[in-house]
Amino acid sequence: MTEERANWIGELIRHWREDRDGTYRTWFLWDERIKNFRSIRRGLQAVVEEIRTERFGNAYRGSSLETVLDSISEQRQVFKGADHAFMWKPKLRIPDIYENRANQIAFGRFLDVCLCCNGEDHVISAIRVLDQMQIKGLGPAAANLLYFLHPTWVPPFNTAIVKGYNKLTGAGVKLGRWDQYLAMRKGVLDLNAAHRALLSNDLGAVAAFLFDIGSDRYPLPPPDETASLDRWRANLEIVRAESAALSKALQTARDADHTHTEIQGWLRDLGLALGYDVWIAANDASRGYGDGRLDDGCLRQLPDRLARIGSADAVRLIDVLWLDRTVQDVVAAFEVEHTTSIYSGIVRMLDLALGLDGAAARNFFLVAPDDREGEVRAQFKRPAFSRVGQLDLRYLPYSELRNHREAIARFGSGLKAILAIARPISPSAHRGAPATAL
């Protein structure tokens, strides 16, 4: 690398550090990023233990691995979509760690070694052993798990990071192969060492920098060519001006952008304040929230009536349930759809309603960001939702919950206030289906 190119890379890193909307400030310096390291380590320990005792199961949904990947993919500034590589794709039979016990054991051994190792070489050796297994569909996306175990040894890996690395260095790294990842890792370590004073010992910083480059946030001249440096610097000034102009809109978007767990916590606290028993989805219950767990103060087992219905396994995964403390009937069910498809959440609520013949579960709420209302309503025009009319389903925007939850907790009773701030979606709600404020 020429001295001039090294200098402008340093110049770009300085700009990236100062960019209020770049990943350095929105993710790398984010307190929640640091908090997730411990919970993700505990989650991976749970994955290893479930594989060892043959309790891991043969599906991604509802597994301990899904809980870990949810914690990672919620860090959308860099890890949006990190869970996709681990979602079970039955038509392709990938990743083959759910139905192939030998592959599952190999994956568990790989995680266990990386959890316990105390040397960088041990991690690389574990990667090479896993690579030799040639497990279909299990590739370098697993490096995102290792990053949260050893952030100074293992850089994250995704499409934008690879694209950014290739653009910056002129390399031709391809997705999906461990040897490609390990070769890129060496280059990332060299880049980090060359600019350590501007980056960090934590490889998340250099990965976030490459992510923003790969996301086309910053224009670059071709590698090792300096003729376009003046044009690149001019383009960079344009980007800076655009960034300043958009900062107000981005701040507004950030204000409306709450995590899935945070919204569940709001609903938990509000339900308890209104005098209900609260159930938190089984796969979210152990998540960290505030100074404790998300399910603190909540039911740890479903009431017998719910546990006995045929769809109990699906009901256990509904994000939040409010139950009458006397008769243990479901008063309200909430599915929080932060960024994902609304389909699975609605199916779970239908399972609840149909499992009880609709007799004891009267109010169903889809809780989502304000800007998803149009998407939500469009989805309900699909034939797949033809039975949704059986639900008194309402859309509850984040902003309404955020702005009114404290007042409802202090002065409200029953569901009257929640129904007032929610918006009807299903035909039964439009018809004014009765909703008893229990």
- 10 strand-pairing partners: none
Tell me the average pLDDT across 7-30.
93
Q: How confident is the model at residue 235 (pLDDT cuts 50, 70, 90)?
A: very low
Q: Say whether the peptide bond before residue 95 is cis (omega within 30 degrees of 0).
A: yes
Encoded amino acid at 186, one letter: K
How does 195-218 read in b/e, with b if 16+ C-beta sit within 10 Å? beebbbebbbbbbbbbbbbbbebb
**Assigned domain for 380 exists:** yes
Q: Are residues 300 and 422 in the same domain?
A: yes
Domain boundary residue among 251, 268, 298? 251
Q: What is the pLDDT of residue 22?
A: 94
Q: How confident is the model at residue 359 (pLDDT cuts 50, 70, 90)?
A: very low
Name which residue leads in pLDDT, 152 or 313: 152
Tell me the average pLDDT across 218-236.
55
The burial class, CB within 10 Å (0-12 / 13-18 / 19+), for 280 is buried
Is the pTM of the predicted complex or chain greater than 0.85? no
Q: Are residues 140 and 58 in the same domain?
A: yes
Per DSSP bridges, beta strands 288-289 and 393-397 are: unpaired
Q: What is the pLDDT of residue 432?
A: 42
Give backbone dihedrals phi and psi of 113, rounded to 5 degrees, phi first: -60, -45
Q: What is the pLDDT of residue 242?
A: 53
CA distance 395 to 164: 39
**Assigned domain for 383 exists:** yes
CA distance 244 to 238: 10
Beta-carbon contacts of residue 383 (< 8 Å; ≥ 6 apart) = none
Q: Are residues 187 and 332 in the same domain?
A: no
- 65 strand-pairing partners: none
Number of domains in the chain: 2
Per-residue pLDDT tens over the stretch 78-123: 998 899 999 999 889 999 999 999 999 999 999 999 998 888 988 9
**Assigned domain for 438 exists:** no
Per-residue pLDDT tens over the stretch 370-412: 888 887 777 776 665 665 556 678 899 999 999 999 999 998 8
Between the ranges 209-223, 268-282, 305-319, 344-358, where is the mean pLDDT highest? 268-282
Domain boundary residue among 185, 216, 251? 251
Beta-carbon contacts of residue 27 (< 8 Å; ≥ 6 apart) = 33, 75, 77, 78, 204, 208
Between the ranges 161-165, 225-229, 376-380, where is the mean pLDDT highest? 161-165
Q: Are residues 112 and 14 in the same domain?
A: yes
Q: What is the pLDDT of residue 174?
A: 85
Q: Are residues 208 and 147 in the same domain?
A: yes
Q: Are residues 331 and 203 in the same domain?
A: no
- For residue 293, what is the enclosing H or E element? strand 292-293
Beta-carbon contacts of residue 189 (< 8 Å; ≥ 6 apart) = 203
CA distance 165 to 172: 9
- Residue 285 tokens read as 């219950």
Tell me the average pLDDT across 168-192.
89
Number of helical H runs and strand E runs in the chain: 20, 8
Q: Are residues 111 and 170 in the same domain?
A: yes
- Residue 170 tokens read as 């002129």
Q: In this structure, what is the dihedral angle of CA atoms 351, 354, 359, 361, given to the nearest 10 degrees?
A: 20
- Cα dihedral sign, 222-199-249-343: positive
Q: Which structural domain range is residue 300 located in?
A: 260-430
Per-residue pLDDT tens over the stretch 315-354: 888 999 999 999 888 999 999 987 666 666 777 787 787 7
Q: Are residues 84 and 152 in the same domain?
A: yes
**Assigned domain for 155 exists:** yes
CA distance 187 to 288: 35
Q: Are residues 190 and 268 in the same domain?
A: no
**Assigned domain for 435 exists:** no
Q: Are residues 420 and 328 in the same domain?
A: yes
Among residues 140, 147, 143, the alpha carbon closest in space to that of 177 is found at 140
Q: Are residues 29 and 173 in the same domain?
A: yes
**Assigned domain for 392 exists:** yes
Q: Are residues 214 and 245 in the same domain?
A: yes
**Assigned domain for 114 exists:** yes
**Assigned domain for 437 exists:** no
Domain boundary residue among 196, 230, 251? 251
CB 53 within 8 A of CB 101: no
Mean pLDDT of the chain: 83
